[in-house]
Structure 1
Amino acid sequence: MAITQIAPSTHPLAAYIHGLEQGGALLSDSPTNVLEVVGILKSYGIVLDAYATNLKYTAEFQYLQFFPFFKYCNGEVTLAKLLRHWWHDRINYEYAEYCARTMIWHGGGGLAAYVEGADFRQHCQRAIAARFRYDPFIQGLHRIFPEFLLEQTRFSAYCSGLGQFWTIMSEMFLSLSDRYDNGEIQTIGQVVDHIRDGLVAAAATPITYQVSWGRQSYPIIPPEAGLTFLADTAIPYVEAIFFRGTPFPGTVSYNAQAYQIPFDQTEFIYGALYADPLPIGGAGIHPTLLMQDMTHYLPSYLEEIYRQSDRKDQDQRVRICESFQKSMFCVTTAAIQGLAPHGLGTSDPQEQKANRLYLEQWLTRFIKSRLETVNR
């Protein structure tokens, strides 16, 4: 790694900037951090695969179903599955839908631009006409309220796009766990390298979406739309879920006169990198669903780490959230490295200056995050 030739940064988080310039990560390297990150990403990878499967199923097979009672069954409706569902012994797919809706609300990227464009509307009109060909009531409703079914289709498009994104991320995290088990992954730097290489390899993977009736298919996001994994799903996902998020209900007032929520969405700091882990487990807190899902798939070595705490299993969801935040700072490091204007190891002073400005802009967003907390 090249030695930086420009003056030291005066940024409040300058130590992290210099660390990134020298090939480091946002999360400090230690055997415990490696174990936590790999272990939680293994659990997360299993849960993501389930989320992705259901999102893609609902987008394709539950398209414009107004009362999708069995959408969480993935096409396999049995009494045993229904009983587990009613007993809440199941994956909480509601969290996946929350992420899709949050991405729609915050927007950003090519997918957001496409679903507001003329091409998308034309494809939607053909699919809607075919879907309700023999339903004059819905046809009339569509003429009176032309945006209603279009908005439902936008949500389906985001479900499909997010499902495709999560499928790739799930495979990436599970292969990381396999490499760790084989002794190939021993440092946080190697974790970041694995994720960065995976993001780069999948960057141009096309994002497409179509629905079918009978033998006829109707494209909603055709290949010609040019949407890809990195630019149109990964980056908007990081922005919407890692950074902005939505306020946890019950923890702040949604009353506009209380001024507890920023008026400008770009100022939101409720994402995974900022969230206080303590509310996790409370009713109405969306990440609680994710943390609960991950409790079922924790590797034994991570469960043992959690049992060593003073509270044993009593604060497991909180500990999972803390480990999850550590892992997300590793994912963010990989994204920062991959999107840098020049290789962070460059020895050219002009390229170093461009990288320095780029890194300072990133780290400014981390000032109020839990970056320093997870590194204590």
Structure 2
Amino acid sequence: MTPTAATDTQQQLDTVFNALQSGQALLPDSPQNVMEVVGILKSYGIVLQAYAENLIYIADHQFLVLFPFFKYFNGEFSWGKLWRHWFHDRINFEYAEYCLRVMLWHGGGGLDAYLDSEEFVGLAKKAIAAKTADNPMMRLLNYLFPEFLPEVVRQWAYYSGLGQFWTVMYPIFLTLSDEYDAGRITTISQVVAHIRNGLVADASKPITYSVEIDGQTYDILPASAGLTFLMDTAVPYVEAIFLRGTPFFGTVSYNAQAQQISPEQSEFGYGALFADPLPTGAAGIPPTLVMQDMRHYLPDYLLKFYQQKNRGEDDLRVKICETFQKSMFCVTTAAITGLTPYPWDTTNSTEKEANGEFYQAWLQRLQTSQLITVQNT
């Protein structure tokens, strides 16, 4: 980066910092940005509802089914649905599984810590014993590889945890659209406030998970673990999906000698806020799936906006990704301002200074993301 470019970047970061200090957002306020963000979050809310319902179905009804061939059917199999599945005329539930596996791999938060606890191991073994009681092959597998099935149970816990997280999030996005349609949402600050209020309202919502085996209930994530929506699912989700992510095959070399991927997971910057929309829209890259899903539910006003831009619908997934990144900076703003050491709108100078240090740390983390790009689009 040239000295001039570095100076321009720092000036823009200072502008964003001042915006945060004054209660504004990481994304600049404009009627176009409001329209794009609300429209894409409406589409995303519809898709998230489908994702959440499927994850919870798998967690509750496919527990320790190692080859769940029909897990995407939510218990409602038909040949017509299978045909549509084969020809991809459906919601791409694989993206939801990609997200839960990224969360499982990166870890963080109380859910990750609990899944490494002795209490969880004990509960998992009880459920495994009940599930394999009438299955000699599964019992043999568990005997030969005693760590395998507990690890599978950890993954199933993330099916439920992520499903519960999205169950809270999708109504926030859908009601945001309703408020916009009614003329009550007109600024980016109002968008952020709506999302933040939803996060805070459910911050302490318990995250629990149990399965029923032969008529008996087995706890996997008991209420006594004290897991909650905000700190144990929302914050780890932001860290894993918005910030870290995973390197996309075909865009970087996985060869250790090439050293294109940091060996430290904490240094990963491949998440939704960092990804280049162009390779993100390429075939074989997981976020393409959610962009493909969202294109089916775009509000008419947003689709018309895309059609009027260069290339029309020819690069629709890329346009969706660019707008989606804008919306995720709004969600990130809601999370940041909801997690500040003191009330985000405090007028106390000492508290405001502490919040400022908190914001600066976040901006340092985000300076190599698409943050500067969205300031100018």
TM-score range relative to shorter protein: over 0.9
Task: Return the alpha-carbon distance in structure 2 between the equivalents of residues 12 and 149 of structure 1.
Answer: 50
Look up the match of 2:89. Answer: 89
**Retained in 1: the 8 A contact 2:34–2:187?**
yes
CA offsets 1:157-199 (integer angstroms, 9 cap, x no match) = 0010000000110011001111111111111010000000000
Task: Report how far residue 217 of structure 1 moved.
Answer: 1.0
Look up the match of 2:7. Answer: none
Instruction: Give the TM-score normalised by the residue count of structure 2.
Output: 0.96
Which amino acid counterpart does residue 173 of structure 1 have in structure 2? F
**Retained in 2: the 8 A contact 1:11–1:360?**
no
Task: Report how far residue 215 of structure 1 moved.
Answer: 1.8
Task: Return the alpha-carbon distance in structure 2 between the equivalents of residues 345 and 161 of structure 1.
Answer: 31
Task: Report how far residue 154 of structure 1 moved.
Answer: 0.4
**Retained in 2: the 8 A contact 1:109–1:232?**
yes
**Retained in 1: the 8 A contact 2:165–2:233?**
yes
SS at match of 1:129: helix
**Retained in 2: the 8 A contact 1:295–1:317?**
yes
Look up the match of 1:327. Answer: 327
Task: Report how far residue 11 of structure 1 moved.
Answer: 8.1
Task: Report how far residue 356 of structure 1 moved.
Answer: 1.4
Which amino acid counterpart does residue 220 of structure 2 have in structure 1? I
Look up the match of 2:56. Answer: 56
SS at match of 2:210: strand
CA offsets 1:280-331 (integer angstroms, 9 cap, x no match) = 3322211000100001100000000000112000010000000000000000
Look up the match of 1:220. Answer: 220
Look up the match of 1:206. Answer: 206
The alignment covers a number of residue pairs equal to 367
CA offsets 1:256-295 (integer angstroms, 9 cap, x no match) = 1100001111110000000000013322211000100001
Identity %: 60
**Retained in 1: the 8 A contact 2:281–2:321?**
no
Task: Return the alpha-carbon distance in structure 1 between the equivalents of residues 282 and 19 of structure 2.
Answer: 36
Instruction: Give the TM-score normalised by the residue count of structure 1.
Output: 0.96
SS at match of 1:146: coil
Distance 1:11 1:124, change over 3 A: farther
CA offsets 1:53-98 (integer angstroms, 9 cap, x no match) = 1111111111111211100001000011011001110111110000
Which amino acid counterpart does residue 357 of structure 2 have in structure 1? L
1:44-83 map, 5 Å: 44-83=44-83
SS at match of 1:344: coil
Which amino acid counterpart does residue 280 of structure 2 have in structure 1? I
- Structure 1 gap segments, 5+ residues each: 1-9
* Bigger shift: residues 349-358 or 284-293: 349-358
Look up the match of 2:370. Answer: 370
**Retained in 2: the 8 A contact 1:104–1:158?**
yes
- Structure 2 gap segments, 5+ residues each: 1-9
Runs of at least 4 residues of structure 1 off by over 6 A?
none
Look up the match of 1:353. Answer: 353
**Retained in 2: the 8 A contact 1:22–1:344?**
no
Task: Report how far residue 348 of structure 1 moved.
Answer: 2.3
1:1-376 map, 5 Å: 13-376=13-376
SS at match of 2:279: coil
Task: Report how far residue 344 of structure 1 moved.
Answer: 3.2
SS at match of 1:312: coil
**Retained in 1: the 8 A contact 2:53–2:163?**
yes
Task: Return the alpha-carbon distance in structure 2 between the equivalents of residues 162 and 352 of structure 1.
Answer: 33
Distance 1:323 1:12, change over 3 A: closer
Task: Return the alpha-carbon distance in structure 2 between the equivalents of residues 313 and 87 of structure 1.
Answer: 21
Task: Report how far residue 12 of structure 1 moved.
Answer: 6.9
Task: Return the alpha-carbon distance in structure 1 between the equivalents of residues 110 and 321 of structure 2.
Answer: 30
RMSD of the TM alignment (CA)? 1.1
Task: Return the alpha-carbon distance in structure 2 between the equivalents of residues 60 and 11 of structure 1.
Answer: 50
SS at match of 2:243: helix
